């Protein structure tokens, strides 16, 4: 699998002859345009986990002539720009929902913010994109709110615990300060990703897992992209 960073939580993932595009709100390096123009793929799928401006941009409609499908979280229906996406190419997906065609299977999970997270299965590979699902433990917030955030996170983790992923994308947000990797750490402990890509960290230094991030013997490759257009293979 080859992964190219767009920005924030946006990535292009190539799995053999299939391109998966997640949360492409901006493409300052022209990665997506170049990939579409090359045409060296059989299918092109767009995913948007929710309608926040830094995850969904209706400008992805310009790729409709090449797109196989747009798989969009239900909340995006309320976005005024959603009508630009061709209805005949769009599947609206809710929480704990599923969709498939002859190439991919998509399962959605909930978020601790807006919208959904996605599990995409194709060619024997499983790719998880968390969207804004995270343990949003904000330093300085009230003890009550921090506990609510933890409870919401752990509630959703029950649906993911024990699952295996070939590649997982998960927020490691520098704005959370000392709690920035807290959600990702629990996620990696309770699921079985073979590789982890951090996201939602624009403007912050490269993230390196802390010394106790992984349980002994459970270390996996991690990638913390910083610049739009960076590419990594797994």
Q: Is 190 among the domain residues?
A: yes
145: domain CATH number is 3.60.15.10
Question: DSSP characters for 104-142?
Answer: -EEEEE--SSSS-EEEEEETTEEEEE-TT-S----TTS-
The confidence band for 227, taking pLDDT boundaries of 50, 70 and 90, is very high
pLDDT given at position 15: 98
186 within some domain: yes
Asked whether residue 134 is domain-assigned, the answer is yes
Question: pLDDT-based confidence at 57, cuts 50/70/90?
Answer: very high
Q: Is 185 part of a structural domain of the chain? A: yes
Dist. CA 38–CA 205, nearest whole Å: 32
- The pair of three-digit structure tokens given for residue 179, joined into one six-digit string: 């709690």
End-to-end CA distance of the chain: 5
pLDDT at 63: 98
Alpha carbon distances (Å) from 67 to 25, 62, 89: 16, 9, 8
- For residue range 199-218, list pLDDT tens digits in order: 999 999 999 999 999 999 99
pLDDT of amino acid 156: 97
**Cα distance between residue 232 and residue 234, in whole Å:** 7
CA distance 25 to 178: 27
pLDDT in tens, 19-49: 999 999 999 999 999 999 999 999 999 999 9
pLDDT tens-digit series, residues 170-201: 999 999 999 999 999 999 999 999 999 999 99
Is 234 domain-assigned? no
Return the pLDDT at 90. 98
Letter string b/e over residues 218-231, b meaning 16 or more CB atoms within 10 A of that residue's CB: eeeebbbbeebeee
Residue 16 belongs to a domain? yes
**76-125 confidence digits (pLDDT tens):** 999 999 999 999 999 999 999 999 999 999 999 999 999 999 999 999 99
Domain extent at residue 124: 2-228
Length of the chain: 234
Q: Evaluate whether residue 233 is within a structural domain.
A: no
Are 26 and 6 in contact by the 8 Å Cβ rule? The answer is yes
Structural domain count, the chain: 1
In a domain, 122, yes or no: yes
Enter the tokens of residue 112. Answer: 């601790």
- The total of other beta-carbon atoms located within 10 Å of residue 16's CB is 14
């Amino acid at each position: 699998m080859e992964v190219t960073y767009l920005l924030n939580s946006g990535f292009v993932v190539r799995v053999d002859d299939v391109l998966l595009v997640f949360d492409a709100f901006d493409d300052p390096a022209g990665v997506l345009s170049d990939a579409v123009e090359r045409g060296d793929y059989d299918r092109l799928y767009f995913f948007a986990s929710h309608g926040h401006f830094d995850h969904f941009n209706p400008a992805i409609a310009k790729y409709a002539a090449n797109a196989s499908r747009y798989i969009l979280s239900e909340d995006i229906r309320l976005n005024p720009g959603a009508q630009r996406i061709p209805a005949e190419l769009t599947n609206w997906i809710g929480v704990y929902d599923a969709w498939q065609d002859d190439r991919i299977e998509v399962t959605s999970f909930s978020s601790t913010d807006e919208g959904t997270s996605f599990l995409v299965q194709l060619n024997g590979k499983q790719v998880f994109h968390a969207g804004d699902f995270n343990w949003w433990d904000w330093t300085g917030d009230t003890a009550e709110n921090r506990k609510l955030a933890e409870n919401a996170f752990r509630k959703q983790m029950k649906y993911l615990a024990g699952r295996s992923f070939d590649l997982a994308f998960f927020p490691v947000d520098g704005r959370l300060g000392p709690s920035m990797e807290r959600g990702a750490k629990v996620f990696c402990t309770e699921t079985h990703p073979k590789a982890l890509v951090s996201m939602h960290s624009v403007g912050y230094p490269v993230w390196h897992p802390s010394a106790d991030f992984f349980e002994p013997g459970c270390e996996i490759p991690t990638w913390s992209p910083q610049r739009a257009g960076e590419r990594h293979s797994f």
